Amino acid sequence: MQSYPQYSNKQKWIHWSSALLIVIVTLLLLAKVTMSNILGGMPIVYLLHKSLGVVVLLLMIWRIIVIRDQGVPDVLLKEQKLQRILSKSTQGFIYILLLIVPLSGYLMSGRDLNVFGLISVPAIAMPNSIHQMFHSMHLITAYALAILVIIHILGALYHYFWLKDKVLQSMLSRND
């Protein structure tokens, strides 16, 4: 039995699979020339970037439903006011960006969205200037997300190595 608050197994699964996918989706385009050589062409790099980005969006929607049903454990002490504010606001912005980044990726293109070659989501017709606006939004929010994820990781490591509390374990250990 764990003596510290724990996220549910479902919440851990959503958290770690989203984390892995965000890294893959970002690296696919940041190292697109290398990835294209490995995967066999630029079209497959973009297909994977977009399709896995859609999976990240679906995981985020599922996360919202799970939080609504199960809530979230209170892993920080009530006295840790500043840490609670910093941690909750970073997490809140990450959640908002996990909706905005994939949605703006979809809306910036005038072409249908092909998901894993299996599903085609029709494009939404709009003036070119609006597509351009979503294009800029996608790039800016994607880099903002990357920065917040790095801050989030540093925060978790600070708890583990410096404060030596159980915040990281609340998202790591297996629930029986």
Binding mask 102-141 for ligand HEM (x = CB under 6 A): x--xx------x------------------------xx--
**Does 54 engage in binding with ligand HEM (CB under 6 A)?**
yes
Question: What are φ and ψ of residue 175, in 5° steps?
Answer: -85, 140
Q: Is 159 in the site for ligand HEM (CB under 6 A)?
A: no
State yes or no: residue 167 binds ligand HEM (CB under 6 A): no
Is the Cβ–Cβ distance between 132 and 126 less than 8 Å? Answer: no
Among 75, 101, 148, 167, contact with ligand HEM (rule: CB under 6 A): 101
> Does residue 145 bind ligand HEM (CB under 6 A)?
yes
Neighbouring CB atoms inside 10 A of 67's CB total: 13
Count the residues of the shown chain that bind ligand HEM, applying the rule CB under 6 A.
20
CB hemisphere CA count around 103 (13 angstroms): 9
Instruction: Report the first-to-last Cα separation within the chain, whole angstroms.
Output: 7
**Binding segment toward ligand HEM, per CB under 6 A, in 3-11, 19-27, 85-93, 159-167:** 19-27
Q: Is 49 in the site for ligand HEM (CB under 6 A)?
A: yes
Shortest CB 7 distance to ligand HEM, Å: 21
Mind giving me the DSSP string for 83-150? Answer: HHHHHHHHHHHHHHHHHHHHHHHHHT-SS-EEETTTEEEPPPP--HHHHHHHHHHHHHHHHHHHHHHH
**What would the two tokens of residue 19 be?**
């984390």
Residues at the contact surface with ligand HEM, assessed by CB under 6 A: 22, 25-26, 29-30, 46, 49-50, 53-54, 56, 101-102, 105-106, 113, 138-139, 142, 145
